[in-house]
Amino acid sequence: MLPEQSIQKIINTALRNGGDLAEVYLEDTDRLTLVLDDQKLETATRGSDIGGGVRVFYGQTAAYAYTDDLSEEALLAAAEAAAAAARSTNQARVAVDLTRRIPSVTHPIKRPFDQMSIAEKAALLRQIDQTGRATSSLISQLMTSYTQTSRRVWIYNSDGVWAEDERFMLELRASLVAKRGDALQTITTGLGGQTGLEMLDERDPLTAVKEAAETAVHMLDAKPAPAGEMTVVINNGWGGVLFHEACGHCMEADFITSGASAYAGMVGERVGPDFLTAIDDGTIPNRRGSLRFDDEGTPAQKVTLIENGILKEYMWDLTEARRLGRESTGNGRRQSFRHMPMPRMTNTYIDAGPHDPEEIIRSTKKGLFAKRLGGGQVEIGRGDYVFAVTEGYLIEDGRLTTPVRGATLVGNGPETLRQIDMIGSDLALDPGIGMCGKGQSARVSVGQPTVRVPKLTVGGTDQPISGLMGG
């Protein structure tokens, strides 16, 4: 990247009109995407996204200017633009010496992306496609994709921070349609993480697509989901997306300091049962949401959000931490150099609980088992959330029975969390293809054990079934 003297020069320019802190963020991202659809390798795309931005903090204001040209001249011009906004009455200040931070966690990869040719990667997609189609003649469409991303970032600031991170992301996706007569079912599956090609040796994409194909076919027999309130058991792994959406977002510091979140001012208070602990951990080796440093140069951390039911901490970036004169928790992330950082989750999960997962189902007389959740959304102010259940089953007398389609879960995050009456011992993280949107997109991971909520509203099209409520 640029020599240290150039960075110093850019930071000094940024602080020309005063300001409390100046930061330089540089990025070089290379991406390869292959898409196989309708049994043809249709789209093969490769490209690079290179650029940088200069941010100046003055009081509670941050001015940012970015450019897709990484020359010293272009970055100096960005620094000038950011400094122009500062117009602070402070004296111009000079940056301290930059000290390169050594990461305390690493996410090493074993097989770099170039150890397979593009043609071999295309052949892998063909193999996945054929395996999915061979699973059942009812699989009418299959689209698979391979994406590798190498993202290098450099972060410097006037407090002397110099941090570098290198993030290798691998992602395989398959989206299937099963068709019988007029009935259509879709399933999306995938594998991913902060990993090199070793993921292909360690986790079998063919098994994953076969399972997805079987599920899609199985779901053709699904009946419309019932509507109304009932007990809901949420599967482990990706089921953690419910906590991510319904509670995690409400613990992001920007919604806390503005007072918008239902969890504002709740540190130290009980927000769930005493067997509930929830964590955001950016340090888990090689997970999709893992980092060495966040996009502001703060080391990745393990943050305990809720411990034994008590709210402990929120997720902070620099902007929000500066407001309160505290430290960032390493949750300052940005989609690219075109975006300013904001508090974001990394790998967020509900920790293992005391209950036997099988017993959770067995002890449920009537309800819904949400095996596979689709996407969800939260309204921050109240914490109201909604989720699609893409694979669901009725629970009758402690057993899974009829598959149901078109179910939606709605509820209030803080309320649902308080209501949880069972948490399994079977903590699992998701397969690693999660993408979180908050104006900017971020790669994240979620997880949880099997979790039971005694009363949730389920939206379906079938008539309500009387007496479906209850444990």
Q: Which of residues 378-407 bind another protein (CB under 8 A)?
A: 379-382, 384-388, 405-407
Contacts with another protein in 327-356 (CB under 8 A)? 338, 340
Residue 353 three-state SS: coil
Least distance in angstroms from the C-beta of 131 to another protein: 18
Work out the angle at residue 292's Cα, subtended by the Cα atoms of residues 29 and 194, and round it to the nearest 5 degrees. Answer: 60
- CB half-sphere exposure, 392, CA atoms < 13 A: 28
> Which of 103, 228, 273, 471 contacts another protein by CB under 8 A?
228
Output 70 or 105, the one with its CB closest to another protein: 70
> Which of 18, 103, 273, 375 contacts another protein by CB under 8 A?
375
Distance CA 267, CA 440 (A): 27
> Helices marked H in 71-189 — which ranges?
72-86, 118-135
Residue 300 φ/ψ, nearest 5 degrees: -60, 145
- Pattern 259-298, another protein, x by CB under 8 A: xx-x------------------------------------
Number of residues that bind another protein (CB under 8 A): 81
Q: Please tell me whether residue 137 binds another protein under the rule CB under 8 A.
A: no
Q: Please tell me whether residue 188 binds another protein under the rule CB under 8 A.
A: no
> Which of 6, 127, 130, 186 contacts another protein by CB under 8 A?
186
Residue 397 φ/ψ, nearest 5 degrees: 50, 45
Distance CA 47, CA 29 (A): 8
Least distance in angstroms from the C-beta of 414 to another protein: 11
- Pattern 449-468, another protein, x by CB under 8 A: --------xxxxxx-x----
Structure tokens at 134: 């061979």
Q: Is the CB of residue 215 less than 8 Å from the CB of residue 138? A: no
Structure tokens at 26: 């540089």
Work out the angle at residue 70's Cα, subtended by the Cα atoms of residues 68 and 76, and round it to the nearest 5 degrees. Answer: 100
Structure tokens at 171: 């992602």
Least distance in angstroms from the C-beta of 408 to another protein: 4
Residue from 327, 356, 320, 341 nearest 442 by CA: 341
Distance CA 316, CA 325 (A): 12
Distance CA 98, CA 441 (A): 30
Least distance in angstroms from the C-beta of 362 to another protein: 27
Q: Please tell me whether residue 116 binds another protein under the rule CB under 8 A.
A: no
How does DSSP classify residue 97?
P
Residue 70 three-state SS: coil
> Which of 215, 328, 364, 412 contacts another protein by CB under 8 A?
412
Least distance in angstroms from the C-beta of 146 to another protein: 12
Least distance in angstroms from the C-beta of 19 to another protein: 12
Output 425 or 461, the one with its CB closest to another protein: 461
Q: Please tell me whether residue 85 binds another protein under the rule CB under 8 A.
A: yes
Q: Please tell me whether residue 43 binds another protein under the rule CB under 8 A.
A: yes
Q: Is the CB of residue 353 less than 8 Å from the CB of residue 449? A: yes
> Which of 1, 6, 72, 81 contacts another protein by CB under 8 A?
81
> Which of 255, 316, 349, 369 contacts another protein by CB under 8 A?
255
Structure tokens at 8: 């110093």
Q: Please tell me whether residue 90 binds another protein under the rule CB under 8 A.
A: no
Mark the segment that binds another protein (CB under 8 A) among 60-68, 291-299, 346-354, 427-435.
60-68
Output 59 or 160, the one with its CB closest to another protein: 59
Distance CA 66, CA 337 (A): 7
